[in-house]
Amino acid sequence: MRDGRGTIKRKAGLKLWLSGGWLAVVAVLTLFAGWISPHDPLTQDLFASRLPPFWAAGAEPGYLLGTDSLGRDVLSRIIYGGRVALTVAIIAGLATAIVGSVLGLIAGYYRGWADAVISRLVDIWMAFPPVLFAILLIAVLGTGLWSIVIAIIVIDWTRFCRVVRAETMNQSQMDYVASAVVAGHVRSAILWREIGPNVLPTIVALLSLEMGIAVIVEAILSFVNLSISTDAPTWGGMIAEGRISIHQAWWVLVCPLIVLFLTVLAFSQFGEGLKDRFDPVLR
């Protein structure tokens, strides 16, 4: 039994190190893009269009991942595109976690009419297809970074609400809650001071997964030109551009697609690692 738990802990640690390492690299590159990026991501040079990456024949020094059809450096655009992806992931993820978790805590602990109203609202909200709902919201709000953030919050708060509600109901049956009630603590104090900290590991793990989802949503919206300005580099926008010239310059599509895949996978594995690491049974 202990060997099994130790194996799970080791796997969780490996997930955290590998996924956290990739996310740290992406964060550093995007944070210091002005110093690390080899070129201006918006600078066009038609004489240097569709240059292959450094390992292919015909590559030129200074363009590690080649250039697109307008001669823009692919690596620089990927780095600056990461700024948009991580900004949306962090802001939308945190806001979604706060809104959904607060409602989930209230529904799971107070029960009664509060639980009935919030649960019915969640059921109604989840009946809408999320991607179509996001596109509809962007069409109403207009394109832009904050429109994407608002759309993600409006759509994904239900995920946090349902999970946190279930975990809160489970924690409410624990002995430490009964002891707090016997001690005469008010219900609000029990919820925020006793139950809240014990639900926090679940919220943190779910937050990491939500950040990966936010990156995907931003990429989808930028793919269909519903993200920020079309001139600004985004991973989804680069994939859309690369799709057009896949036969002449495959790297314009493949490079941002790989980075997007690894980033979303890292968020997912980081969340699973946190979940295993903070599993109360393993602890």
Q: Within a domain: residue 283?
A: no
Q: Within a domain: residue 282?
A: no
pLDDT of residue 72: 93
Of 260, 211, 208, nearest to 234 by C-alpha is 260
pLDDT of residue 93: 93
pLDDT of residue 230: 63
Instruction: Provide Rg for the chain, Cα atoms.
Output: 22
Q: How many domains does the chain have?
A: 1
> Which positions ≥6 away from 128 have C-beta within 8 Å?
155
Mean pLDDT by 10 residues, the chain (283 residues): 59 82 94 91 88 87 90 94 93 94 92 89 85 80 85 89 92 84 82 86 89 91 79 89 88 94 93 71 50
CB 36 within 8 A of CB 73: no
pLDDT of residue 1: 47
Helices (H) and strands (E) in the chain — how many of each?
A: 11, 0
CB 44 within 8 A of CB 71: yes
218: helix, coil or strand?
Answer: helix
What's the CATH number where 72 sits?
Answer: 1.10.3720.10
**C-alpha span between 39 and 75 (Å, rounded):** 8
pLDDT of residue 140: 83
pLDDT of residue 9: 66
Of 87, 71, 73, 68, nearest to 30 by C-alpha is 87
Q: What is the DSSP letter of 143?
A: S
pLDDT of residue 251: 92
Q: Within a domain: residue 81?
A: yes
Q: Within a domain: residue 161?
A: yes
Q: Within a domain: residue 95?
A: yes
What's the domain range around 115? 2-277
pTM confidence score:
0.87
CB 236 within 8 A of CB 222: yes
pLDDT of residue 3: 55
- Helix H or strand E encompassing 277: helix 251-277
